Amino acid sequence: QVQLVESGGGSVQPGGSLSLSCEASGDISRLNTMGWYRQAPGKQREWVAGITSGGYTNHADSVKGRFTISRGNAKNTVYLQMNSLKVEDTGVYYCKLDQSLTAYWGKGTLVTVSS
């Protein structure tokens, strides 16, 4: 089993920055993909960014140039640096880990962007 714990959410004004962290523990494979998703109130969950165990990254067009996903040295931690935040970035942000055809999810952390 794999457990994921997110941290770093909070409230910020438009144009501000936040950094999210996700730490994975348990039976983690060397080969995996980690990513961030978000769910705004009344909307479906959407993919934000992903990173492979080899370090390849990809970001949704809506956050490209503003958000950056990265991994820690221990490879079991993933970060999401969010800059130039907009009101529409508000939502619950979830961490996901994919390995061996199985997906694991964290419980989420709330990000609120409001003036």
SS3 labels along the chain: CEEEEEECCEEECCCCCEEEEEEEEECCCCCCEEEEEEECCCCCCEEEEEEECCCCEEECCCCCCCEEEEECCCCCEEEEEECCCCHHHCEEEEEEEEECCEEEECCCEEEEECC
At residue 15, the pLDDT reads 98
At residue 72, the pLDDT reads 87
Instruction: Give the model's confidence band at 103: pLDDT under 50 very low, under 70 low, under 90 confident, else very high.
Output: very high
Q: Which residue has the higher pLDDT, 109 or 75?
A: 109
At residue 30, the pLDDT reads 85
